[in-house]
């Protein structure tokens, strides 16, 4: 591996991370690194395997979607060197670059860190990017700016030992108002700002999620004071880490744990965890996030818009007045979230020229928001955006479709989401132009069931699938209806209706829109129309779409070619990495237990005793799991591991803990206030356990050798 220039990386923790990633890659290529363990490691560093052999997608973690002009230029410049000439904006307000060599990924990270951009925990079984309403700080309806709180939560849990290797990923959002534009209802934890008796706090939603089995969240609190936000989330993470599923990846999200034990039982476990928290209250330093303001520039050219009609539509759909006097927000619609690196640099240049504040926000529907634009700058800004191809009206309208990369680059992609998205947008602009003014109907498309395109919370959603016919396979899309918000702002999960050949989707979509226009009541929102129709006839939409599923007649040749593709369709689904990996090898588990114990020791020696406590806990659980696997005893949760180890090793005298049960041995973490004295005591217990673990494993191997 070549030397990496770290001279401009300011954060010492980031330097350690980059060096460690480089060392692990070197070890992997020399055959010294277990492949599954290495996969888990690189994923938590934002390095994700692509559909294409031998290259990686790099996911760049941008908390609450904020990116400065310099950062956007740095991403573009770095992508030009190590990736491709374009970048992709995601529904989690990240940026992804593709086709990066694994060996180059540490260089990519080092380059990005020069502008304070991290890859840490952008993928893997960790707390993913903290998302938020893009309008936070400028929303006329917000009780207060949630940006500093989202930032504090991001900082607190980044590299935090309690959430490095959970059973699966964990997603958090902040919404700026009750309109819930951050989609709190579909996150593991969602925060909505509230003011009570002059105090700031949050309504808290817990246990939502998408994927193949989407679920709406549960309300945990009507009002939680802001200083309790981080302690509550830490307690939730501890419960999820301990009780969450670990063997079956498909059941390893927090929503399944809540479904299994019940929401009240979950909240009781959360309450019990609070004793072990080092920080019972965390005051948020709001000064860490600088509030935006109008720039000093006022000499904007007084220009006539290059397209008067487009300008008129653009001001109606892409421009809004902020809560700050004389300041405007300007949305930029980016089709399928894909833009060239040159375009990104040009956008950054507009910020540098003083057209907007240096606080660009990536939106959850894969666009941009420019903030603090002066009214007199709008015509000139429009012309510059028009020249760049960024002035298309209809932001966040029906004609602004959200779509994941699908079969373009993702291992799990079954059908093209970007190809059909572009086709449907083209159709709407040609035949249903007024839909650029419709904010009722949201269309979202995913290439597979994992719902990165959020199809299950769309008013009209599509999920990539396939259909077999005449010995061949054709691309298809599952139609879903009724997700997202109704007129009253109530969220719902979309219903699956019918599977359509991909090439028939535009025609079927037009027919569906026609039925809505013809049969909806005056002012009736799409979801209300949908619910009313299925209340009268639950098969209404199935019957409406059934003619488009008919494959009894001669099938055109192009049905076997996906949208945006030239070659015939081939269903090729690889192993997805979006949910991380599960490691169950005895040797690997023992190594991880020892690694966690070493971390407990180093943290204790460095005075970070609160982290040492949790690493001691992890070493105990991982060591117990290793020995259980050595006896072919399956373990699905930390709680199960603790109970099973007590039953199969301690209770029968095969593992002496000085008369203590393993449950009591481990449970000290919850029964003691965190302190230096307890950290030292717990470390000594872990040390004794690790030593005995090695002895017991030696006996296991000797026993296996005689069988």
102-119 tens-digit pLDDT = 999 999 999 999 999 999
Average pLDDT over residues 554-569: 83
Q: H or E segment at 348? A: helix 341-352
Given a contact cutoff of 8 angstroms between Cβ atoms, the answer to whether 120 and 37 are in contact is no
Residue 595: per-residue pLDDT: 82
At 584, the pLDDT band (50, 70, 90 cuts) reads very low
Long-range contacts of 693-696 (CB under 8 A, 24+ apart): 693/590, 693/593, 693/623, 693/624, 693/626, 693/627, 694/590, 696/627, 696/649, 696/654, 696/655
Cα separations in angstroms, 142 against 181, 192, 199, 392: 11, 10, 15, 27
> pLDDT per residue over 137-147, tens digit each?
999 999 999 99
> pLDDT per residue over 512-545, tens digit each?
999 999 999 999 999 999 999 999 999 999 999 9
For residue 296, what are the β-bridge partners?
none
Closest C-alpha among 198, 276, 291, 184 to residue 239: 276
Average pLDDT over residues 433-455: 92
For residue 521, give the DSSP letter.
P
Given a contact cutoff of 8 angstroms between Cβ atoms, the answer to whether 60 and 96 are in contact is yes
Residues near 101 by beta carbon (within 8 Å), at least 6 away in sequence: 54, 55, 56, 82
At 42, the pLDDT band (50, 70, 90 cuts) reads very high
Given a contact cutoff of 8 angstroms between Cβ atoms, the answer to whether 461 and 443 are in contact is yes
Residue 470 CB coordination number (10 Å)? 9
At 574, the pLDDT band (50, 70, 90 cuts) reads very low
The two structure tokens encoding residue 561: 């070619």
Please, what is the average pLDDT of the chain?
Answer: 91
> pLDDT per residue over 289-325, tens digit each?
988 899 999 999 999 999 999 999 999 999 999 999 9
> pLDDT per residue over 228-238, tens digit each?
999 999 999 99
**Strands 443-446 vs 402-403: parallel, antiparallel or unpaired:** parallel
Average pLDDT over residues 167-196: 96
**What is the C-alpha separation between 465 and 659, in angstroms, rounded?**
57
What percent of the chain lies above the pLDDT cut of 70?
Answer: 96
Given a contact cutoff of 8 angstroms between Cβ atoms, the answer to whether 194 and 176 are in contact is no
**What is the C-alpha separation between 41 and 399, in angstroms, rounded?**
39
- Would the pLDDT of 284 be above 80? yes
Radius of gyration in angstroms for the set of CA atoms belonging to the chain, rounded to a whole number: 26
Average pLDDT over residues 575-594: 60
Number of H helices, E strands in the chain: 20, 22
Residue 301: per-residue pLDDT: 94
Average pLDDT over residues 413-427: 91
> pLDDT per residue over 653-700, tens digit each?
889 898 899 999 998 998 888 899 999 999 999 999 999 999 888 888
Residue 36: per-residue pLDDT: 79
**What is the C-alpha separation between 597 and 687, in angstroms, rounded?**
7
> pLDDT per residue over 609-657, tens digit each?
888 998 999 899 989 988 988 888 877 788 889 999 999 999 988 898 9
Average pLDDT over residues 82-92: 95
Average pLDDT over residues 131-141: 97
Q: Is 444 exposed, middle or buried (0-12, 13-18, 19+ CB in 10 A)?
A: buried
Cα angle: 503, vertex 504, 509; to 5 degrees: 125
Residue 577: per-residue pLDDT: 57
For residue 376, give the DSSP letter.
G
At 208, the pLDDT band (50, 70, 90 cuts) reads very high
At 220, the pLDDT band (50, 70, 90 cuts) reads very high
Maximum pairwise Cα distance, the chain: 89
**What is the C-alpha separation between 62 and 64, in angstroms, rounded?**
6
Closest C-alpha among 4, 191, 9, 20 to residue 595: 20
Residue 291: per-residue pLDDT: 86
Q: H or E segment at 362? A: strand 360-362
Instruction: Walk me through the domains of the chain, giving residue ranges and CATH numbers.
Output: 12-113 (3.90.480.20), 138-288 (3.30.413.10), 308-388 (3.30.70.3340), 410-560 (3.30.413.10), 586-706 (1.20.120.330)
Residue 674: per-residue pLDDT: 86
**What is the C-alpha separation between 74 and 265, in angstroms, rounded?**
47
What percent of the chain lies above the pLDDT cut of 90?
Answer: 71
For residue 650, give the DSSP letter.
I
**What is the C-alpha separation between 106 and 115, in angstroms, rounded?**
15
């Amino acid at each position: 591996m070549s030397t990496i220039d770290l001279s401009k990386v300011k954060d010492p923790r980031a330097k350690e991370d980059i060096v460690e990633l480089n060392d692990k890659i070197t070890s992997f290529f020399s055959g010294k690194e277990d492949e599954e363990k290495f996969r888990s490691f690189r994923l938590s560093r934002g390095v994700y395997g692509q559909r294409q052999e031998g290259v990686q997608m790099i996911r760049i973690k941008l908390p609450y979607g904020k990116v400065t002009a310099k950062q956007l230029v740095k991403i573009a410049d770095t992508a030009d060197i190590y990736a491709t000439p374009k970048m992709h904006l995601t529904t989690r307000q990240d940026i992804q670059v593709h086709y990066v060599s694994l060996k180059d990924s540490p260089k990519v990270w080092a380059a990005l860190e020069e502008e304070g951009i991290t890859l840490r925990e952008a993928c893997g079984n960790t707390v993913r990017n903290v998302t938020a309403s893009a309008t936070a700080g400028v929303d006329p309806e917000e009780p207060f700016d949630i940006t500093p709180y989202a930032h504090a939560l991001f900082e607190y849990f980044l590299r935090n030992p309690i959430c490095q290797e959970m059973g699966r990923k964990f997603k958090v959002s902040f919404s700026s108002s009750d309109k819930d534009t951050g989609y709190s209802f579909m996150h593991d934890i969602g925060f909505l700002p509230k003011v009570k008796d002059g105090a700031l706090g949050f309504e808290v939603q817990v246990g939502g999620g998408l994927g193949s089995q989407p679920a709406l969240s549960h309300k945990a609190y009507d009002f939680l004071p802001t200083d309790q936000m981080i302690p509550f989330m830490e307690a939730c993470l501890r419960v999820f880490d301990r009780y969450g599923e670990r063997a079956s990846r498909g059941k390893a999200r927090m929503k399944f744990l809540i479904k299994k034990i019940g929401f009240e039982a979950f909240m009781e476990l959360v309450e019990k965890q609070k004793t072990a928290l080092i920080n019972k209250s965390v005051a948020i330093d709001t000064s860490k996030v600088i509030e935006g303001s109008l720039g000093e520039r006022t000499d904007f050219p007084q220009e006539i818009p290059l397209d008067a009609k487009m300008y008129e539509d653009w001001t109606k759909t892409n421009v809004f007045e902020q809560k700050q006097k004389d300041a405007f927000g300007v949305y930029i619609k980016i089709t399928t979230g894909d833009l060239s690196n040159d375009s990104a640099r040009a956008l950054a240049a507009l910020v540098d020229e003083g057209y907007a504040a240096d606080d660009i926000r990536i939106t959850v529907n894969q666009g941009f928001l420019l903030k603090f634009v002066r009214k007199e700058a709008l015509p000139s800004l429009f012309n510059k955006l028009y020249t760049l191809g960024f002035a298309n009206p209809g932001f966040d309208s029906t004609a602004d479709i959200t779509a994941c990369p699908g079969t373009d680059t993702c291992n799990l992609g079954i059908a093209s989401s970007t190809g059909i998205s572009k086709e449907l947008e083209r159709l709407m602009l040609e035949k249903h132009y007024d839909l650029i003014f419709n904010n009722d109907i949201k269309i979202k498309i995913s290439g597979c069931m994992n719902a990165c395109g959020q199809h299950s919370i769309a008013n009209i959603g599509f999920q990539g699938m396939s259909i077999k016919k005449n010995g061949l396979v054709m691309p298809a899309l599952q139609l879903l209806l009724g997700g997202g918000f109704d007129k009253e702002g109530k969220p719902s999960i979309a219903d699956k209706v019918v599977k359509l050949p991909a090439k028939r989707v535009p025609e079927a979509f037009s027919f569906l829109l026609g039925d809505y226009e013809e049969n909806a009541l005056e002012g009736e929102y799409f979801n209300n129309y949908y619910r009313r129709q299925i209340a009268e006839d639950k098969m209404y939409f199935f019957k409406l779409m059934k003619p488009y599923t008919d494959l009894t007649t001669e099938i055109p040749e192009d049905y076997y070619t996906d949208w945006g593709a030239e070659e015939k369709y081939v269903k090729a689904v690889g192993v997805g990495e979006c949910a991380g990996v599960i490691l169950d090898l005895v040797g690997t588990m023992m190594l991880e237990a020892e690694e966690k114990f070493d971390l407990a020791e180093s943290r204790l020696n460095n005075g970070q005793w609160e982290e040492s406590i949790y690493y001691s806990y992890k070493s105990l659980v991982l060591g117990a799991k290793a020995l259980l696997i050595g006896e072919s005893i399956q373990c699905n949760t930390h709680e199960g591991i603790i109970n099973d180890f007590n039953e199969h090793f301690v209770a029968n005298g095969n593992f002496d803990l000085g008369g203590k049960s393993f449950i009591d041995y481990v449970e000290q973490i919850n029964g003691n206030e965190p302190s230096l004295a307890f950290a030292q005591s717990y470390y000594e217990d872990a040390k004794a356990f690790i030593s005995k673990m090695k002895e017991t494993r030696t006996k296991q191997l000797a026993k296996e050798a005689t069988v």
